[in-house]
């Protein structure tokens, strides 16, 4: 069921957005050569505790997950692009790290993701990351009253295709509110002027993610981490936004 939020409810969602943004910033600041993924997860866990927030991940067990997730942060490295289960791995020079985080504050959820290169970057990785960011910006710009979900999807896809990236639509954006995942689904490819009309009060996560040379993925033996079928690298950018009469509000905007 799709729920529309009142202006007052959108204001109530702002603290969750600010908290999620602060955790993403902290993860990107802490990530460095030699840092263990479990250290990042522990830091996020401590920030949740201090804020009195609640993790959306730790007990999460959808049909595509092998078991409850058990961690509070998704850390996807190199050929992993989504749902990366933190493990005993120390980041190496040149690793492409994607961090995804969602939490609830006072009963309201926000969800966000970002990718960086740790240490010495490859030009190919920087271009991939930049494409996800620009696609996210394009999707947000299309999230206006009177447009449709397909306009967001088409805007994302236009950026990806211009850079030569294929697009997987198995996983994409989604409704956000009292829970992390809700209706509507917001695919990263679609036809403009099609799909659900965008109305004031719709709150969604928009999340472009692309792989360097494929659109096919498989699930790692850990039962969660999604990796590229050909070993190429992936990047992921995401914000939670609210559709309003005066334009989209990015609830998870980072400083």
- Can you give the three-state secondary structure of 45-83, one letter per residue? HHHHHHHCCEECCCCCCCCCCCCCCCCCCEEEECCEEEC
In the chain, what percentage of residues exceed pLDDT 90?
Answer: 97
**Residues with Cβ < 8 Å from 56, sequence gap 6 or more?**
102, 103, 104, 109, 111, 179, 180
Q: Note the pLDDT of residue 214.
A: 97
Determine whether the annotation assigns residue 239 to a binding site. Answer: no
Residues 159-183 pLDDT 10s: 999 999 999 999 999 999 999 999 9
Determine whether the annotation assigns residue 185 to a binding site. Answer: no
**Residues with Cβ < 8 Å from 254, sequence gap 6 or more?**
21, 24, 25, 112, 114
- Residue 111 gets the label, from left (phi > 0), alpha (psi -120 to 50) or beta, of beta
Determine whether the annotation assigns residue 100 to a binding site. Answer: yes
Determine whether the annotation assigns residue 174 to a binding site. Answer: yes
pLDDT range class, residue 230, cuts 50, 70, 90:
very high
Residue 113 lies in a domain: yes
Q: Once rounded to an integer, what is the mean pLDDT over residues 69-98?
A: 98
HSE, side-chain direction, 13 A CA sphere, residue 201: 8
Q: Note the pLDDT of residue 64.
A: 85
Residue 33 lies in a domain: yes
CATH code of 202's domain: 3.90.230.10
Residue 1 lies in a domain: no
Residues 106-158 pLDDT 10s: 999 999 999 999 999 999 999 999 999 999 999 999 999 999 999 999 999 99
Residues 49-79 pLDDT 10s: 999 999 999 999 988 888 999 999 999 999 9
Range of the domain at 43: 7-250
Q: Note the pLDDT of residue 1.
A: 86
Q: Note the pLDDT of residue 255.
A: 79
Q: Note the pLDDT of residue 65.
A: 87
Q: Note the pLDDT of residue 166.
A: 94
pLDDT range class, residue 90, cuts 50, 70, 90:
very high
Residues 25-43 pLDDT 10s: 999 999 999 999 999 999 9
Determine whether the annotation assigns residue 111 to a binding site. Answer: yes
Q: What's the number of domains the chain is made of? A: 1
């Amino acid at each position: 069921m799709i729920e529309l939020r009142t202006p007052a409810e959108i204001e109530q969602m702002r603290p969750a957005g600010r908290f999620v943004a602060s955790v993403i910033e902290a993860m990107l600041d802490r990530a460095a050569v030699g840092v263990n993924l479990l250290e990042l997860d522990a830091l996020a866990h401590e920030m949740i505790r201090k804020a009195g927030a609640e993790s959306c991940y730790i007990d999460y067990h959808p049909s595509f997950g092998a078991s409850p997730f058990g961690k509070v942060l998704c850390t996807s490295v190199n050929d992993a692009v989504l749902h990366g289960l933190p493990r005993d791995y120390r980041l190496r020079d040149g690793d492409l790290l994607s961090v995804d985080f969602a939490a609830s504050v006072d009963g309201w959820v926000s969800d966000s993701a970002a990718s960086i290169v740790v240490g010495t970057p490859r030009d190919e990785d920087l271009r991939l990351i930049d494409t996800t960011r620009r696609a996210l910006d394009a999707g947000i710009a299309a999230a206006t009253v009177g447009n449709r979900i397909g306009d967001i999807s088409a805007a994302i896809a236009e950026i990806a295709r211009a850079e030569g990236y294929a697009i997987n639509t198995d996983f994409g954006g989604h409704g956000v509110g009292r829970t992390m995942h809700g209706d509507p689904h917001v695919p990263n490819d679609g036809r403009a002027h099609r799909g659900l009309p965008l109305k004031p009060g719709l709150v969604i996560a928009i999340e472009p993610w692309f792989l360097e040379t494929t659109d096919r993925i498989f699930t790692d033996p850990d039962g969660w981490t999604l990796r590229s079928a050909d070993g190429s690298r992936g990047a992921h950018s995401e914000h939670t936004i609210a559709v309003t009469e005066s334009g989209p509000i990015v609830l998870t905007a980072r400083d």
